[in-house]
Amino acid sequence: MEAPLDGQVAIVTGAGSGIGRAVATTFARSGATVVATDLSEDTARETARTIEREGGSARAAQLDVGDAEGVDVLVRELADDHGRIDVLCNNAGIADTMQLPPDMSPQTWEQVLRVNLTGPFLLSRAVLPHMVAAGSGSIVNIASEAALRGGTSGAAYTASKHGVVGLTRNIAWTHTRDGVRCNAVCPGMVETSIAGSGFDDEGLQRLAPVMGLTDQMAQPQAIADVALFLATAQSAFVNGAVLPADGGWSAG
């Protein structure tokens, strides 16, 4: 049976660990040549080596998703080398410390928005001309439960992920006639490094009523499987969707 991404080229940002690594390896097992990018070149290379050990095709690239010039250079190189870019998964993201808005510094706000929202915009902006020229393409944005609620994270992270949903819907609507689809996955609690420690105590107390509505923790593979569905022709008529993958958290 032909793999659903056979012969396609897929870019995955934040592929060095967690959800990004799971997405990258899952796309590769499905036939894609995966470009695993991460701010850390070492972790990106480890993901690429993992794919190659499994018999897949991958290349690693160090990338700061908030660097417009760096993004443009990488995408041009990939388009020149491979002749196509079929799938983009905007996964790279950072958390804030869940501080209340009066306590959050402008520097934290700008850093989180730069990675979580400007990054997906810059990558999408760079790949869209290639997808439009080909008449096909799929962009999968990894948003968050924080894109659906106001009480699961700090102000910067929440605003950035709400912005990802808006970006997703705009791209889906404006490029649907070009054959390009754009959808978002909204993970709930996932066992990754982003769910670590160092959070603000007062902020956590304010968020506790909503955070306490779920006690389910997913593995990264559960999110990667949803991303794969949205990347492939199995979801050919799904465009502009914002799909919770949260164990029912958003239903409560």
Q: What is the pLDDT along the chain (252 residues), one digit of tens a residue?
A: 569 999 999 999 999 999 999 999 999 999 999 999 999 999 999 999 999 999 999 999 999 999 999 999 999 999 999 999 999 999 999 999 999 999 999 999 999 999 999 999 999 999 999 999 999 999 999 999 999 999 999 999 999 999 999 999 999 999 999 999 999 999 999 998 765 557 899 999 999 999 999 989 999 999 999 999 999 999 999 999 999 999 999 998
User: What pLDDT is recorded for position 39?
Assistant: 98
Amino acid (one-letter) located at 42: D
Distance CA 6, CA 31 (A): 4
DSSP reduced 3-state for 13: coil
User: What pLDDT is recorded for position 195?
Assistant: 57
Burial class (CB in 10 A: 0-12, 13-18, 19+), 200: middle
CA end-to-end span of the chain, whole Å? 40
Of 189, 174, 178, the C-alpha closest to 222 is: 189
Q: What are phi and psi of 234, to 5 degrees?
A: -60, -25
Contacts of residue 205, defined as CB under 8 A and 6 or more positions apart, other chains included, come to: none
> How is residue 72 annotated by DSSP?
H
DSSP string covering 102-130, please? GG--HHHHHHHHIIIIIHHHHHHHHHHHH
Look at the alpha carbons of 203, 205, 208, 211 in this order and tell me if their dihedral is positive or negative: positive
Q: In what order do the strands lie in the sheet with 33-38?
A: 57-62, 33-38, 9-12, 87-90, 137-142, 180-187, 242-245
- What are 57's strand-pairing partners? 33
Q: What are phi and psi of 101, to 5 degrees?
A: -55, -40
Residue 5: CA count within 13 A, CB half-sphere = 32
Tokens of 127: 């790949």
pTM of the full structure: 0.96
Given the structure tokens 């959800």, which residue do they identify?
Answer: 19
Of 30, 157, 183, 190, the active-site residue reads 157
User: What pLDDT is recorded for position 232?
Assistant: 98
Give catalytic status of residue 157 as yes or no. yes
Helices and strands, counts by H and E, the chain: 8, 7
What domains can you pick out in the chain, each with its CATH number? 9-251 (3.40.50.720)
User: What pLDDT is recorded for position 205?
Assistant: 94
